[in-house]
Structures are given as C-alpha cells and as structure tokens.
Amino acid sequence: MERDPETYNVRAVERAMRILSSFDGEHPDRGVSEIAQATGLHKATAHRIMMTLLSGGFLERTPDGERFQLGLRVVELGLGALRGLDFRRAAFPYMQQLVERFQESCDLGIFDQGQVLYIEVVLSDQALTIISRVGGHLPAHCTATGKALLAFLPADIVEPVLSGPLEACTDKTITSPARLQEELEAIRQRGYAVDDEELSAGIRAIAVPIRDIDLNVVAAIGMPGPVSRMTHERVPVVAEAMMEAADVISAQVVRV
C-alpha cells in the first residue's frame, strides 16, 4: 500500500526549508519580519526556527547583527552536492577543450524548478567574455542551456514552464508557448539550442544536452559570446564540436 508522500512531512523541517529557500540573489540577507512575511510564518515561529538554523551554521548574522544570511554550512552542503555530480566531473575537461578551441567561456547547467542552475563555468581569456555565475539561476525559456534542457525533458516537467508567463527579456525573447513549442521541436531535430539575443541584446549562445546511462537528459553545456564573435556562420561549427563533446561526456558519465 502506497502512502501519500505528504504524510511523511515533518512540519518543522518543512518550515526550515521554506526559510532557507527565501534567500536568493535578490534577497541575500533578510530580517526576521521579512522572512516571516516571505514564508507565511508567524514571526515568533520564524524566529525560533531561525535561531536553531543559526546555531547549526545554516544561517549567520550580517555584520551589523540586525539581519540574517545563509551560513557556511549551506555552502559546504552545496559544494558536496556538486562534487557528487558525475556529469560535472566528466564534463569539465571537455569544457576546457572547447574554451581553448573557440576562446569563449563554457558553462554547465541543470534544470531547477523552471530555471537553469549553473553548476560549472570555464572562463576564456577574452577581454570581453560572457559568463554565468556558478550557483546562479537564469530563465529556461530564453537561454540556450535552458532550451536545450526543455527540448528533451519529460512533458510533465516542461508543461509548467509553457503554461506560466514567458517573460520578455529582450525584443527577441520567445513569449508565445506555441512558438516555444516549435522552437523546442527544432532543437530536437538539429540536436542543439541557440539563444539569439533572447536573454541579453548582443549575446548569442549555443547549448547541447548531456545524457545519463538511460539516455535521460541530466544537464546541458552552453557557450555564450558577443554576436560580433559568435556569428551566424560560426554557430554550426561550434555546435558540431559541442555535440561531439557532449556525446563523449555522456559516455563518460556511465563509467565515472
């Protein structure tokens, strides 16, 4: 007999997770009242849980002592999770080779609740380079890495993205669900995704999926660059090399 997963929820743990999840790039630090409002918890309840997280190193006080931010214990756990990703270890040397060959930065991302979470970046030596931040999130619908993931992920994971609002980041962003569906089908046909100034004007990016032993897409590697260097003529050349690298990485994943 299967039980509803919710019957295993521990309320205090669930509340602690809500508090930790309330910190992000836009809110790196918060006060007790802010956290209570963001999580829907009573201020006294939020404060009690925060004190427990503080004592365990999951939260720490800001220098002024008035606010809170994520603690080093969270960083340690995050780094431990990253080190445990087989495809990250397998991808790194091939990302380096791509950077050396094309002199553009290369990033590795995974799908995370409708966005791309970047877990590795290899920088180029270019004076002008386009980079993603490790641990940072970007929208899936208007990034090459995000579209490479959406094109091959199961429909039940992709549907919430398609049914939600598709924010326009530039005048080239695809904001129509039907048009995005067409784009994802084209990506499946050619094997790689392109962000043609859809996230940032003047930036063009290419991305290809990485698969696991069961051929499920688990990540994608991307290579962004200014349109002056990442020209339309150059895209197929870079994409072909990236697809070859992704095939080798995928094969490595089953042996790591």
Write the CATH number for 230: 3.30.450.40
Tell me the C-alpha distance between 111 and 146, whole Å. 7
For residues 130 and 15, membership in a common domain is answered with: no
Q: Is the pLDDT of residue 149 over 90?
A: yes
Q: Which domain holds residue 17?
A: 5-71
Is residue 77 one of the residues assigned to a domain? no
Q: Is the pLDDT of residue 221 over 80?
A: yes
Report the pLDDT averaged over residues 226-245: 95
At which of 47, 71, 95 does a domain end?
71
Sign, CA torsion 108/92/233/103: positive
End-to-end CA distance of the chain: 36
The total domain count for the chain is: 2
- Of residues 50 and 26, the one with the higher pLDDT is 50
Least confident span in 1-15, 122-136, 165-179:
1-15
Q: Is the pLDDT of residue 5 over 90?
A: no
Residue 83 CA, distance from chain mean position:
16
Tell me the C-alpha distance between 202 and 137, whole Å. 20
Is residue 91 one of the residues assigned to a domain? yes
Sign, CA torsion 237/91/216/152: negative
Where residue 2 falls among pLDDT bands split at 50, 70, 90?
A: very low
Q: How high is the pLDDT of residue 238? A: 96
Where residue 3 falls among pLDDT bands split at 50, 70, 90?
A: very low
For residues 169 and 249, membership in a common domain is answered with: yes
Q: Which segment, 77-81, 112-116, 180-184, 246-250, is predicted with the most confidence on average?
A: 180-184
Model confidence over 43-97: pLDDT tens digits? 999 999 999 999 888 899 998 888 999 888 887 676 555 555 567 778 889 999 9
Tell me the C-alpha distance between 43 and 160, whole Å. 32
Q: How high is the pLDDT of residue 88? A: 79
Q: How high is the pLDDT of residue 1? A: 41
* DSSP assignment letter at 3: P
Contact between residue 187 and residue 151 where contact means Cβ atoms under 8 Å apart: yes
**Would you state the structure tokens that stand for residue 103, as one six-digit string?**
């002199």
Which amino acid, one-letter code, is at 46? Answer: A
Helix axes 11-21, 32-39, angle to 10 degrees: 110
DSSP-assigned letters across all residues of 134-188: TT-EEESTTSHHHHHHHTTS-HHHHHHHHHS----SSTT----HHHHHHHHHHHH
Report the pLDDT averaged over residues 161-179: 91
**Would you state the structure tokens that stand for residue 83, as one six-digit string?**
């080190």
Q: Is the pLDDT of residue 98 over 90?
A: yes
